[in-house]
Every structure is written in structure tokens, then in C-alpha cells.
Amino acid sequence: DAFQEDHITTRRPPTGPTYRMGIGIDHGADAGSQVAILVAVNPADRYAEIHAVDEYIAGAADPETHATEILRMLKRNGMDYHSVDRWTGDRKYGGKRWGGSMSNARLMRGMERILGFPMGGLPFRIRSAYKPSGSIYQECSIIQEAMMRHKFSINAKCEALIRSLRLWSYQDDGHKHAIDALRYAAVPLLNRNLYVPNTIRLG
């Protein structure tokens, strides 16, 4: 309920040495339930900043398709996988009779094939979201506080996330997927206990 229309912007997010980039991924097979959100956060400020930069929305597809589109999302924002400080994905989605399964491990294998790395050679990990009891309420409160302090922005091209922020009522419904991906992307970069930057292997 703290989300306001003036949080929507067409400006590029601020950058600098204190900003971190994150991608959060929620897995699913229904239309619009496989979601990746790209964020920029600044935990160094007294009050943390959260900026939703872009999104990828899909349904059931093979890992290579999801990997390709996520990498395209980075490219259209002038980035590549080196730019991302942390990748965080939901726990494995087991699929339905008419859908498919997806997991962080399968998506990493897709990334390896698209980027040309051998199996196990991807220079970053998609870490599993930390989901203790009460984490949804706690993490949504962090995002809401950023909104209330005018430390939150969302690019206008994040149409699905904007719709979810307008309509989600804390229910397990179709609007929850984008909210989950936003949480997975932003909160680990604000929590020192969860933040472990990716180490890029060279050579």
C-alpha cells in the first residue's frame, strides 16, 4: 500500500561504488510465473535504496530459453553477467502435468550452454533464496519502507512488476511471482549476513 505512481520512472538507476546489482528469479510453469527481476541497491546509505531496473516474464520453457532472455535483459541495460553481484533463485519448481520443472541448477546448466562454459564451469552461482519463517513479511516490509522513504524506484518497462505492486494483496496468487523475484533480488544485497558476492574465475 506504500507503492505510488511517482515511484515509476524512465531514468536509468544511479550508479557508483556503493551500488550492487542483483537478479532475483522465481520459478514456475504457468504463464507469467517464471520471473527474473534486475535491481540496483545501495545498502551504504542510512536508508537503503532499491531500484527495479528491468524484468523478464515467461511461462514454461527450456533452461536455454530462460538463460538467453535473462542475458538479453542484461545486454539491453548495458550489462553482462560480470555486472551482477548476486544471483538468487527460488527453490526448485517441480512442475505440473501440463508444465515443466525448473530449478537454479537447470538454469545454470542452460547458462553454461549459452555462454560456452563446460559443465560446472559457470563463473557465478544462482544461490537458493533463504526462506525462514516470516521472511515474506520481513522482506516485503523492507521494500515498503524504502517506498515510504522515497528510496524506491521502478522503471516503466517493468510492466508486470508494476501491475503486481498495484494489485497484490499478500495472497499466493498470480501477482506474487514478480514480488518474490523482487525480494530475492534486493534483500540479500541489503543483508550483510546473506550477501556473498560472486567470484568471477579468470583464465
pLDDT in tens, the chain (203 residues): 899 999 999 998 888 888 999 999 999 877 778 999 999 999 876 788 999 999 999 988 899 999 999 999 999 999 999 999 999 999 765 554 333 467 899 999 999 999 999 999 999 999 999 887 888 888 999 999 999 999 999 999 999 999 999 999 888 888 899 999 999 999 999 875 554 555 444 43
Residue 196 sits at φ, ψ, to 5 deg, of: -130, 105
| pTM for the predicted model, two decimal places | 0.89
> Is the alpha carbon torsion for 154, 84, 180, 30 positive or negative?
positive
Residue 189, classed as helix, strand or coil, is helix
**Full strand arrangement of the beta sheet holding 20-26:** 8-9, 152-155, 49-58, 34-42, 20-26, 86-89, 126-128
